[in-house]
Amino acid sequence: MKVAEFREMSNEELNEKVYLLKEELFNLRRKKAVGQLEHGEEVRRVRKDIARAKLVQRERELGVK
């Protein structure tokens, strides 16, 4: 997702999205450890999405934009 898509979400939706992304990251890491993960770039995509969501949360916390 793009940062603009995260900015369109409400605070509750954003918190829920972060929670779901962390769950997905956990599952991907578990698959990677077992050797079942076919596309390793998925882990990087999810980590970046979490960072983007947290960026928007922090901006709102600080009152930026």
Chain segment 29-59, per-residue pLDDT in tens: 999 999 999 998 999 999 999 999 999 999 9
CA atoms of 54 and 10, how far apart (whole Å)? 13
Alpha-helical runs (H) found in the chain: 3-7, 11-34, 41-62
The domain defined by 3-62 folds into Helix Hairpins (1.10.287)
Q: Given a cut of 90, is residue 61 above it in pLDDT?
A: yes
Say if pTM beats, i.e. exceeds, 0.85. yes
Residue 18's nearest CA partner among 48, 43, 41, 59 is: 48
Higher pLDDT, 45 or 64: 45
Identity at 12, one-letter amino acid code: E
Residues 65, 53: Cα–Cα separation, whole Å: 15
The single residue listed with the structure tokens 């990087």 is 44
Whether 65 shows a pLDDT value over 70: the answer reads: no
Does 12 score more than 90 pLDDT?
yes
